[in-house]
Structure 1
Amino acid sequence: MSENVYLPIPPPTRASALPELTKSQTKMQQEVQHHFEDPTYAPADSEKALMDAEKMWLSYECILRYLRASKWNVDTAIQRLEDTLKWRREYGVYDTLTADLVEPEAVTGKQILLGFDTKSHPGLYLIPSRQNTTEATRQVQFTVWMLERCIDLMPPGVESLDLLINYADKAKNPSFGTARAVLNILQSHYPERLALALILNVPFLLNAFFKLITPFVDPITREKMKFNPRVIEDGIFTPDMVMSQWWGGNCNFEYDHDKYWPALVSLCKERTERWTTTWQKMGGKVGLKESEYKIGTPDTTPDLSEKLASAPAPAPDAILDPALST
């Protein structure tokens, strides 16, 4: 029996080449990038120019994600990007949405970021039976904060994540309003970010709930939902990268908030700070490639490696997803 795991698993480090674009697609990407490169550009209803964090977010890959989600319509992609820039400011993604703000939601381990599938997508576990609060606003904020941390842990060449949802142990259903709020944020402001939604133990009443919200779920997203999957037998995860509890792996993860939470926060902070430094050295502008500013930055530093020492190593044969289509 493997020893218990209490900390996040460090991300794989291998990179993958970006997909080649057609001449038409390249022109579209350049059109969108040029729109946001304008030094006079500011998000709608604001006189404040783009911050460095916003320019970094407007990466080459980000523009392509929005173009794919917009069916390669330049005007639609630009409008959606502008809407998300405005939303990220108003929602406080860069300032208000902090670890301290959402930590009360995290103490029971109802959302856990752990491991990577065979294509190196990070796995975000949702365990509704561990629901510990009633404040819907902060619950949604916590979900957004965890989505951002998933992005922090994506290796070069990976753009999407897996949701692993278990409704066992008398799980509490989210309210219809909360579910719609999360879906709206995901579909509007995190396009092309979902690889798979893996769902276990859906009771009869919850099945009815899924049917209720299905009309509000994008058809492409619906295709990514898999109910009662066998994640190891189906080749989605290797045993060392998935929890033994409920999911049948051999990763004996035990949630200890005092161990897990600071390690996750520190790991993500270290990575984003190093990426930002590299991005700035590359010119610090709109349209730089995530895959380039992430390459060559080690996933652990001497200070952080000690914190991660008890976490199992990532699968050596992990294959990165080279292109994530809708």
Structure 2
Amino acid sequence: MATTKAHTTSAPPKEKVAVPALELKETQKQMQAKIQEHFSKTGYTLPATEENGSLMEEEKFWLSYECQLRYLRATKWKVDDAIKRLESTLKWRREFGLYAHITPEYIEPEAVTGKEILFGYDVYGRPGFYMIPSRQNTTEATRQIEFAVYMLERCIDLMDESVESLDLLINFADKAKNPSMSTSRTVLSILQNHYPERLGKALIINVPYLVNMFFKLITPFIDPVTVQKLKFNPDVVKDGIFAEDQVMKDYWGGNQDFEYVHEKYWPALVNLCKTRKDHWMENWRKIGGTVGIRESDYKSDTRDGPSESIEAQSETTHKREQNPSTDVAKEEN
């Protein structure tokens, strides 16, 4: 009996291991309130910005209650440090081009070989972000870094309510091309400075001697807390990190026979992430559209809203391409 190949990621698991909610002490609640007050004050502008320093709608959306707590935890609950880091990230997001420059069309040439794939969720509901260095297809370091950040942002789009982190799954098989020290340090700097508390686990397999030495070289540049999340050559199913039906069969021991087909995967991923993000922002506007709204509040109906899998999105897109008159009829009605 032939095995059906998967070409897109699956929907989040209906049941996941619950992560206990962080119980804040009264002093910690007061710290978050100070950050909220800082960014909510009348006439607030980002310091040292050449352009308009007023917060854009998407920046207010990003500055959620949970985001503020992530930066507080990352700075060991130091309010002034958390504010400085939040403002640094807000400026970096503008300068890096997350709101205008790094579009799906611009970044797509990096995606065609499937060297970075979002597929499945671990037992805690964290999205799986696969990196396959052997599929490297470009030489432009800047856009390679931009692509990694773009896919990281899409990972965040795929996080359901109460999920704040992701799993990296890196496979160095098939004569993987090792990134330069400069590129690696840049990506690490971005992750540590602008995506604190976002890494669940980094799962790395098929580590050859030279790559192992490479990791030893870059470890001093990695935060000690992050180093503890690194796992080399794990069995992700036996170790209870992923269920079989949420992880790829090849190399990773799951039962999902995945094949990357760019023409199916890419538009489906882009459409699904946009649908989810648009839906969340619509909910966010309805409940105030301000800094400090809880992510859980605007994500609470995701399962009843745009939560279909990328596979379903791909099928919908294909049907529309085959019969575009269907959508026209809907619009006329």
TM-score exceeds 0.5: yes
Which amino acid counterpart does residue 143 of structure 1 have in structure 2? Answer: A
For 2:247, the equivalent position in structure 1 comes to 242
**CA positional deviation for 1:283:** 0.3
**CA positional deviation for 1:303:** 12
For 1:11, the equivalent position in structure 2 comes to 12
Work out whether residues 10 and 311 of structure 2, in 8 Å CA contact, stay in contact via their aligned partners in 1. Answer: no
Alpha-carbon separation, structure 1, partners of 2:65 and 2:196: 15
For 2:313, the equivalent position in structure 1 comes to 307
1:216 corresponds, among 196, 221, 231, to: 221
Farther off after superposition, 34-43 or 60-69: 34-43
For 1:196, the equivalent position in structure 2 comes to 201
Which amino acid counterpart does residue 218 of structure 1 have in structure 2? Answer: D
2:28 corresponds, among 25, 29, 44, to: 25
Structure 1, unmatched stretches of 5+, are: 311-326
What TM-score do the two structures reach when normalised by structure 2? 0.89
For 2:276, the equivalent position in structure 1 comes to 271
Which amino acid counterpart does residue 28 of structure 2 have in structure 1? Answer: Q
**Residues 1-326 of structure 1: matches in 2 within 5 Å?**
2-12=3-13, 18-46=21-49, 47-297=52-302, 298-300=304-306, 306-307=312-313
SS in 2 for 1:114: strand
Which amino acid counterpart does residue 306 of structure 2 have in structure 1? Answer: T
SS in 2 for 1:72: coil
Q: Give me the CA root mean square deviation.
A: 1.9
SS in 1 for 2:33: helix
Which amino acid counterpart does residue 40 of structure 1 have in structure 2? Answer: G
For 1:317, the equivalent position in structure 2 comes to none
SS in 2 for 1:307: helix
Greater fraction helix: 2
* CA offsets 1:204-225 (integer angstroms, 9 cap, x no match): 1111111111110000000000
Work out whether residues 45 and 55 of structure 2, in 8 Å CA contact, stay in contact via their aligned partners in 1. Answer: yes
Structure 2, unmatched stretches of 5+, are: 317-333
* CA offsets 1:29-63 (integer angstroms, 9 cap, x no match): 00011100113111122343101100010000000
Which amino acid counterpart does residue 53 of structure 2 have in structure 1? Answer: K
Work out whether residues 7 and 311 of structure 2, in 8 Å CA contact, stay in contact via their aligned partners in 1. Answer: no
**CA positional deviation for 1:13:** 6.2
Which amino acid counterpart does residue 174 of structure 1 have in structure 2? Answer: P
Which amino acid counterpart does residue 32 of structure 1 have in structure 2? Answer: I
Work out whether residues 13 and 155 of structure 1, in 8 Å CA contact, stay in contact via their aligned partners in 2. Answer: no
Farther off after superposition, 89-98 or 192-201: 89-98
Which amino acid counterpart does residue 35 of structure 2 have in structure 1? Answer: V
Alpha-carbon separation, structure 2, partners of 1:186 and 1:226: 18
Structure 1 residues 40 and 18, CA, compared in 2 at 3 Å: closer, same or farther? farther
Structure 1 residues 230 and 306, CA, compared in 2 at 3 Å: closer, same or farther? closer
Alpha-carbon separation, structure 2, partners of 1:177 and 1:72: 31
Which amino acid counterpart does residue 169 of structure 2 have in structure 1? Answer: L
Structure 1 residues 76 and 14, CA, compared in 2 at 3 Å: closer, same or farther? farther
Work out whether residues 64 and 294 of structure 2, in 8 Å CA contact, stay in contact via their aligned partners in 1. Answer: yes
Greater length-normalized contact order (CA 8 Å, ≥ 6 residues apart): 1
Work out whether residues 11 and 299 of structure 1, in 8 Å CA contact, stay in contact via their aligned partners in 2. Answer: no
Work out whether residues 6 and 254 of structure 1, in 8 Å CA contact, stay in contact via their aligned partners in 2. Answer: yes
Alpha-carbon separation, structure 2, partners of 1:304 and 1:3: 16
Q: How many equivalent pairs are there? A: 310
Alpha-carbon separation, structure 1, partners of 2:34 and 2:14: 32
Which amino acid counterpart does residue 257 of structure 1 have in structure 2? Answer: H
Alpha-carbon separation, structure 1, partners of 2:305 and 2:285: 19
Which amino acid counterpart does residue 244 of structure 2 have in structure 1? Answer: P
Alpha-carbon separation, structure 1, partners of 2:312 and 2:229: 37
**CA positional deviation for 1:18:** 4.1
* CA offsets 1:152-211 (integer angstroms, 9 cap, x no match): 000100000000000000000000000000000000000000000000011111111111
